[in-house]
Amino acid sequence: MGKKLSKAERQKALKEKIEENPFLIDQELAKIFGVSIQTIRLDRLELNIPEVRKRIRNLAKDSYSKVKSVSNSEIIGELIDIELNKSGTSILETNEDMGLTDSRIVRGHHIFAQANSLAVAIIDTDLALTGLTKTKFECPVHVGERLIAEAVVQSKKDEKFQIEVTTKVKQDRVFNGEFIIFSGGRLNGEVKKRADSR
Amino acid sequence: MGKKLSKAERQKALKEKIEENPFLIDQELAKIFGVSIQTIRLDRLELNIPEVRKRIRNLAKDSYSKVKSVSNSEIIGELIDIELNKSGTSILETNEDMGLTDSRIVRGHHIFAQANSLAVAIIDTDLALTGLTKTKFECPVHVGERLIAEAVVQSKKDEKFQIEVTTKVKQDRVFNGEFIIFSGGRLNGEVKKRADSR
């Protein structure tokens, strides 16, 4: 930010910034506005804006109740937004367990798991299974970074969905994937048949 | 098997069968030879062939010591064979935690995780990261089924490996994936740079 804002200006801008991107942590906001973290905390208190975890929890509350294809515990990350058969967003806080010991780089399959479970979750059906995927791990993710995945249904033909998932750390795109997911009743029959034959 | 084998014939065939495919469980062997599970157990005792878990553990013992790119706990499944920069095999016993609650179908990302960690493990380097993947989930896997993944290096150019991973349940192919993995020193520098900039 160029010139120094007055307190009122800063609080107005802070409110807008958080509405635009509820995932910003106090540290990031402090950097954006060129003030201390303590100042941001006081601003939030005065504006009655909860801290980031609470903000995310509020967003999440409604999302889970809409999901049909998987149970809540089956989504990798926290689901914070969903519009069935259209789109969805989830966040995953990465931790030590997800990283390589030496380099502390998050393993690709954790990033894939978040994207895959989100792609399945947004489909309006009882049973949805991943058929094909094409993924690109665009740059390394470090332990502790927060992954924000957005899934968008690109096309739907009969029981076949094409879904694109893009995952970011802050503003950086770290992963992009195309998921072909099959859903519906016909699948149910086929799955049963295979289970019996093995 | 057509005609009934004598005990000596059966034991000879059993020994060959297990050498050919050490993953066969007693139940499967009983079916192949048209005898009871108890008979197979007695045959193994007489032939001094350990049970399947012990056979797999014996295969695994040497494999882990060769891996450089990841620590042992970072391989999803049990590594049972490895030839650095060439090929590798791992097995994953699927359990309830990996499946969808209702359909008991194993989630795609667990199958992906086994394949991805195997592809990385076989590379002869300190640091290897997944860049691109193309995968096909060919048929559903049910909780309790044993996944056998085989990775083969298709090509290597400078620090870029193309690896194909095929995963089977018994004789059925359930997954096929192409993994482009980057390795080596140049990567180390790039990873550090990104970590510092975020």
Q: What is the CATH number of the domain that holds B38?
A: 1.10.10.10
User: What is the number of structural domains in chain A?
Assistant: 2
Q: Is A197 on the interface with B (CB under 8 A)?
A: no
Is A131 within the bounds of a domain? yes
B-chain residues near A136 (CB < 8 A): 131-132
pLDDT at A190: 57
pLDDT at A69: 74
Sheet arrangement for strand B87-93: A78-83, A87-93, A146-157, A160-169, A172-183, A128-137, B128-137, B172-183, B160-169, B146-157, B87-93, B78-83
Q: Are residues B36 and B83 in the same domain?
A: no
Mean pLDDT, chain B, integer: 87
Residues of chain A with pLDDT below 50 are: 1
Q: Are strands B87-93 and B146-157 parallel, antiparallel or unpaired?
A: antiparallel
Is B56 within the bounds of a domain? no
CB contact under 8 A, B100 and A70: yes
Q: What angle do helix axes B7-20 and B37-47 make, rounded to 10 degrees?
A: 80
pLDDT tens-digit series, residues B111-136: 999 999 999 999 988 888 999 999 99
Q: Say how many CB pairs under 8 Å bridge A and B.
A: 112
Q: Are residues A34 and A75 in the same domain?
A: no
Distance CA B129, CA B181 (A): 6
B-chain residues near A105 (CB < 8 A): 129, 191
Q: Are residues B99 and B163 in the same domain?
A: yes
Is B73 within the bounds of a domain? yes
Is A2 within the bounds of a domain? no
Is B1 within the bounds of a domain? no
Q: Is A87 on the interface with B (CB under 8 A)?
A: no
CB contact under 8 A, B132 and A137: yes
pLDDT at A183: 86
Structure tokens at A140: 């390394």
Q: Are residues A77 and A135 in the same domain?
A: yes
Per-residue pLDDT averaged across B84-105, rounded?
A: 90
Q: Are residues A92 and A186 in the same domain?
A: yes
Per-residue pLDDT averaged across B140-155, rounded?
A: 95
Q: Are residues A88 and A179 in the same domain?
A: yes
Is B54 within the bounds of a domain? no
The C-alpha angle A62, A81, B99, rounded to 5 degrees, equals 85
pLDDT at B192: 54
Q: Which domain range does residue A40 map to?
A: 7-49
CB contact under 8 A, B169 and A198: yes
Closest Cα to residue B175, out of B130, B131, B124, B118?
B118
Query: Residue A156 maps to which CATH number?
Result: 3.10.129.10
- Amino acid identity for residue A26 in this structure: D
Cβ pair A117, A75 in contact under 8 A: yes
Interface of A with B in 45-84 (CB under 8 A): 70-71, 74, 76
A-chain residues near B74 (CB < 8 A): 100-101, 107
Closest Cα to residue B127, out of B189, B192, B187?
B187
Is A138 within the bounds of a domain? yes
pLDDT at B22: 83
Q: Are residues A25 and A119 in the same domain?
A: no
Percent of chain B scored above 70 by pLDDT?
88
pLDDT at A101: 81
Q: Are residues A94 and A153 in the same domain?
A: yes
- Amino acid identity for residue A5 in this structure: L
Is B22 within the bounds of a domain? yes
| Complex ipTM over 0.85 | no
pLDDT at A111: 96
